[in-house]
């Protein structure tokens, strides 16, 4: 039964839960309907809303299934037991997770910083984001902040001038507030509109449901503090924009395409990993890369064996290499999502 108390705490739609937890929407639905992992409330418009507790549980379930725990065995456990289970995970799972984390550090730093522009409201948060070290001893990208304001009052007083002087519109606006109410939500909305930020991220300690719902419906990411370094790092990763269009074109066979990034051994290992989600994307993508690489070699051999058709085989080789490179980028995305190491 959906009590008023539960309804008041349920503010996230399933798409938001998916984005924040990193679990595909179809998987969340199956975990809910088949295994009873979540208890969303239903609005009068028949929309299911998930609570902060559901969001935390989803993140825990994702971590535990990645360690090899069957979802049917852990879906019904309360959060406290899931946390204890995660803390007592096997040394092998911990080592694998550390390997995946270290292998992604260079990619994460490049993707988080690069030429992207960040504007932060909140002096304490800005200091934390500029630190390359975390409290667990790991590392994340020290973000090059384009503009920092101590609070919303300072941002309001200076935003108009800064919006004109900034070299580019901020890619991400991050706002840290202690209390989130309707007035604060309106201030954040006005600031994001003025700066024309691609994405707005709001961190709060105490908040009103109406204000949180308002910002969430506008597409803002809203998270409750305090956040561990691990949780904050995952949130920062979720702000990454889609991959930019490649700088090379398949229409020009003379244009160089990067050499293969992964050996047959790495692709075979990824293809053999038992995925804990419903789809088998890691295996499919790895197999496609292997097939495209082999066709790339085959087309190259045809260049020597059939000089008459050299131009055709050159085109085929180039197209196979282009497709192979695209799927290598896809494998990087899948590996990051699943926590898979692509090291030799």
Q: In degrees rounded to 5, what are phi and psi of residue 256?
A: -70, 140
Average pLDDT over residues 190-218: 87
DSSP state of 132: S
Is 1-89 assigned to CATH 1.10.1660.10? yes
The DSSP result for 274-306, as a single string, is --SSSS-HHHHHHHHHHHHHHHHHHHHHHHHH-
Q: Are 342 and 332 in contact (CB under 8 A)?
A: yes
Q: What is the pTM of this model?
A: 0.42
Bridge partners, 177 (sequence order): 204
* Residue 94, pLDDT above cutoff 50: no
Q: pLDDT tens for residues 236-267?
A: 777 765 444 344 444 444 456 777 888 888 88
Same fold, 1-89 and 108-242: no
Bridge partners, 240 (sequence order): none
H helices, E strands: number in the chain: 15, 8
Q: How far is CA 72 from the centre of its chain?
A: 25
Tokens describing residue 79: 């959060």
Q: In degrees rounded to 5, what are phi and psi of residue 113?
A: -100, -90
Average pLDDT over residues 212-220: 86
Q: In degrees rounded to 5, what are phi and psi of residue 169?
A: -65, 140
Angle of the 182-195 helix axis to the 152-165 helix axis, nearest 10 = 10
- Domain residue limits, the chain: 1-89, 108-242, 264-338
Residue 175: per-residue pLDDT: 93
The arrangement of secondary structure in 108-242, i.e. its CATH architecture, is 3-Layer(aba) Sandwich (3.40)
Residue 141: per-residue pLDDT: 57
Q: pLDDT tens for residues 37-54?
A: 888 888 777 778 888 888
Q: Are 64 and 82 in contact (CB under 8 A)?
A: yes
Largest Cα–Cα distance of the chain, in whole Å?
77
Residue 69: per-residue pLDDT: 79
């Amino acid at each position: 039964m959906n009590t008023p108390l539960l309804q008041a705490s349920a503010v996230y739609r399933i798409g938001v839960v998916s984005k924040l937890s990193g679990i595909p929407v179809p998987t969340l639905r199956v975990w809910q309907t088949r295994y009873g992992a979540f208890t969303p409330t239903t609005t009068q418009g028949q929309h299911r809303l998930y609570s902060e507790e559901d969001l935390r549980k989803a993140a825990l379930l994702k971590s535990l299934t990645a360690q090899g725990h069957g979802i049917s065995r852990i879906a019904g456990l309360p959060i406290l037991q899931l946390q204890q289970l995660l803390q007592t995970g096997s040394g092998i799972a911990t080592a694998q997770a550390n390997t995946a984390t270290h292998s992604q550090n260079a990619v994460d730093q490049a993707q988080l910083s690069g030429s992207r522009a960040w504007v932060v409201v909140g002096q304490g948060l800005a200091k934390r984001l500029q630190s390359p070290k975390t409290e667990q001893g790991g590392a994340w990208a020290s973000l090059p902040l384009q503009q920092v304001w101590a609070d919303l009052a300072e941002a309001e007083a200076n935003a108009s001038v800064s919006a004109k002087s900034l070299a580019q519109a901020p890619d991400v606006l991050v706002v840290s507030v202690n209390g989130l109410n309707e007035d604060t939500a309106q201030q954040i909305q006005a600031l994001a509109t003025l700066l024309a930020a691609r994405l707005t991220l709001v961190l709060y300690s105490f908040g009103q449901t109406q204000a949180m719902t308002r910002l969430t419906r506008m597409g803002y990411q809203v998270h409750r503090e305090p956040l561990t370094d691990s949780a904050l790092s995952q949130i920062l990763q979720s702000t990454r924009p889609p991959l930019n269009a490649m700088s090379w074109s398949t229409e020009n066979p003379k244009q160089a395409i990067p050499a293969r990034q992964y050996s047959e051994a790495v692709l075979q290992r990824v293809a053999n990993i038992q995925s804990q989600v419903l789809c088998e994307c890691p295996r499919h993508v790895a197999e496609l890369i292997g097939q495209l690489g082999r066709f790339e070699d085959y087309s190259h051999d045809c260049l020597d064996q059939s000089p008459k058709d050299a131009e055709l085989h050159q085109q085929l080789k180039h197209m196979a290499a282009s497709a192979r490179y695209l799927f290598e980028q896809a494998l990087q995305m899948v590996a990051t999502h699943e926590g898979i190491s692509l090291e030799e």
